Amino acid sequence: MTEQAPAPTDKPAPKGPPPRVFSGMQPSGTLHLGNYMGALKTWVDLVDESRRTGLDCIFCIVDQHAITVDYDVKELRAKVVDAAVCYLAAGIDPAQCTLFVQSHVPQHTELAWYFNTIMPMGELGRMTQFKEKSEQHRQSVSTGLFTYPLLMAADILLYRATIVPVGEDQVQHLEFSREVARKFNGRFTPKRARPTFPEPAPRLSATPRIMGLDGMHKMSKSRGNEIGLLEEDASIRKKLKGAFTDPQRMRRDDPGRPEICNIYTMHRAVSPPALVEEVQRSCTSASWGCGDCKEALGNNLSAHLTPIRLKAKELTAKPEQVHDTLADGARRCRAIAEETMREVRDRMGLVPAKG
């Protein structure tokens, strides 16, 4: 009998685990449309994508970042739950991803400390968010506000996440996190070993920068120029009436420039594509005035946000369910985090406790 050549195998090469997504938000009160259109909507899309691709999505409420500026102790407790309610109501499905509170996983601050020891101060001083916030909180600028990007790098690298959905204002912090990963790998990863940390990249939405109603600064709670994610329709419409648009549109028949108008940007986030096109055409031809664009936006925001508002009301009435979701998430994250930390401590030469 002649020996048969083995049949060629069509088996695909063994694949590594699916990429991991990580992102977080500060619990600074109910989220606003900047948080939603710049980041949270992308989180929801990634969770949906994970059903097909197996992406591992982890989302965090970064309470330890929120305490780097003055805050009210009692309010912080409520705000953490409010943030979780917003995530869940916006469509983050806890059966499909992991949701947790940063302070429930102590490895975040441990890793941040190690990063403190390898990153030079000069790089931290260049961070735009630090410059802006230290300007806003001039009376007391904490050391935590200065070292904030190290904790953010730890949040991401602890889970070896490579996809980080954020708004444009966080891109600089992501560059910094990549620099931290490179520094650590260069100094502590043994030759020929797999790098301790992969380099994470931002994933931006189509509307990564939402301006505030004042048209001067990005939308943010601390500037009081925001529309809340859970705000009632009537209040949103009222705020839109006074919202800044294209300063060149002085009269009703002046043609507008949608590309610089925040109302148009918000249409792009929530309106159906055909309407977005209509707004674009009607603005440049001046067949619509700013009031028409705002009214159409008010209608679409109402259609988009009403189900989120209703779901949030339901969840607020069941805080136990929200706490259970967060506890499950923390349990899973502590296990992943400890695995990374064992390797980090070992590579840095720290001796494990006996037993």
DSSP-derived 3-state class of residue 161? coil
Could you say whether residue 298 binds ligand TYM (CB under 6 A)? Answer: no
Q: How far is the CB of 85 from ligand TYM (least distance, A)?
A: 16
DSSP-derived 3-state class of residue 193? coil
Could you say whether residue 105 binds ligand TYM (CB under 6 A)? Answer: no
Site mask, ligand TYM, residues 189-228, x = CB under 6 A? -------------------xxx-------xxx--------
Could you say whether residue 24 binds ligand TYM (CB under 6 A)? Answer: yes
> Considering beta carbons, is residue 39 or 180 the nearer one to ligand TYM?
39
Q: How far is the CB of 5 from ligand TYM (least distance, A)?
A: 52
Binds ligand TYM by CB under 6 A, chosen from 56, 82, 155, 231: 155
Could you say whether residue 157 binds ligand TYM (CB under 6 A)? Answer: no
Q: Quote the strand ranges of the chain, DSSP E.
A: 20-25, 56-61, 98-101, 163-165, 201-203
Q: How far is the CB of 113 from ligand TYM (least distance, A)?
A: 16
Evaluate whether 317 touches 81 at the Cβ level (below 8 Å).
Answer: no
Binds ligand TYM by CB under 6 A, chosen from 69, 84, 87, 167: 167
Could you say whether residue 110 binds ligand TYM (CB under 6 A)? Answer: no
Could you say whether residue 38 binds ligand TYM (CB under 6 A)? Answer: yes
Could you say whether residue 169 binds ligand TYM (CB under 6 A)? Answer: yes
How far is the CA of 330 from the CAs of 78, 99, 333, in angstroms?
18, 8, 5
Residues noted as catalytic: 133, 218, 221
Q: Distance between CA atoms of 301 and 229, rounded to whole angstroms? A: 10
- Number of residues forming the site for ligand TYM (CB under 6 A): 26
Rounded to the nearest 5 degrees, what angle is found at the Cα of 123, between the Cα atoms of 119 and 132? 130
DSSP-derived 3-state class of residue 21? strand
Q: Quote the strand ranges of 189-331, DSSP E.
A: 201-203
| Helix, strand counts (H, E) of the chain | 14, 5
> Considering beta carbons, is residue 66 or 279 the nearer one to ligand TYM?
66
Could you say whether residue 83 binds ligand TYM (CB under 6 A)? Answer: no
In 3D space, the residue among 47, 50, 76 whose CA is nearest the CA of residue 63 turns out to be 76
Stretch of 43-51, 152-160, 186-194, 335-343 lying at the interface with ligand TYM (CB under 6 A): 152-160
Q: Distance between CA atoms of 298 and 180, rounded to whole angstroms? A: 43
Evaluate whether 56 touches 18 at the Cβ level (below 8 Å).
Answer: yes
Q: How far is the CB of 176 from ligand TYM (least distance, A)?
A: 11
Residues lying near ligand TYM in the complex (CB under 6 A) are found at: 22-26, 34-35, 38-39, 62, 65, 152, 155-156, 164, 166-167, 169-170, 173, 208-210, 218-220
